[in-house]
């Protein structure tokens, strides 16, 4: 098993896991870009957003529900937070297992870098 996020989901690689259910796992980003920077990862290996199939619609919706829960739990929901999915290297994607970034706890800028 090569994929680092599959390894984290299988508990074969350490991570600060803050949430888990049958479909997804959430853990703290190792290189946080803000006071809150959590990654939500489906347990199913999907490389990029472009690889999503119709059958993954419920899975993707679920990640967004988990994001809301984490934002509320971490107290950033009301002030505001950002959800990001990078797709392919030009966007900055470095881990090719789809993941939703939950970023907040500081003022976010627009446009993003």
Q: Which residues bind ligand AMP (CB under 6 A)?
A: 4, 15, 27, 29-31, 39, 86, 92-95
Contacting residues for 91 by C-beta, under 8 A, at least 6 apart: none
Decide: helix, strand or coil at residue 18.
strand
Query: Whose CA is closest to 24, among 54, 76, 65?
Result: 65
| Minimum distance of ligand AMP from residue 95's CB (angstroms) | 4
45 counts as binding Zn ion under rule CB under 5 A: yes
Which of Zn ion, ligand AMP, none binds 15 (CB below 5-8 Å, type-dependent)?
ligand AMP
Q: Distance between CA atoms of 42 and 23, rounded to whole angstroms?
A: 6
Part in contact with Zn ion (CB under 5 A); list of ranges 20-28, 39-47, 73-81, 87-95: 39-47
- Annotated catalytic residues are 99
């Amino acid at each position: 098993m090569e994929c680092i996020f599959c390894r984290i989901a299988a508990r074969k690689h350490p991570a600060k896991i803050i949430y888990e259910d049958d479909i997804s796992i959430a853990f703290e980003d190792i290189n946080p870009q803000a006071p809150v920077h959590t990654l939500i990862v489906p347990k199913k290996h999907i490389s990029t957003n472009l690889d999503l199939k119709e059958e993954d619609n419920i899975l993707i919706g679920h990640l967004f529900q988990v994001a809301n829960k984490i934002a509320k739990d971490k107290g950033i929901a009301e002030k505001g937070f950002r959800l990001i999915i990078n797709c392919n290297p030009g966007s900055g994607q470095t881990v090719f297992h789809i993941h939703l970034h939950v970023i907040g706890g500081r003022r976010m800028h627009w446009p993003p870098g």
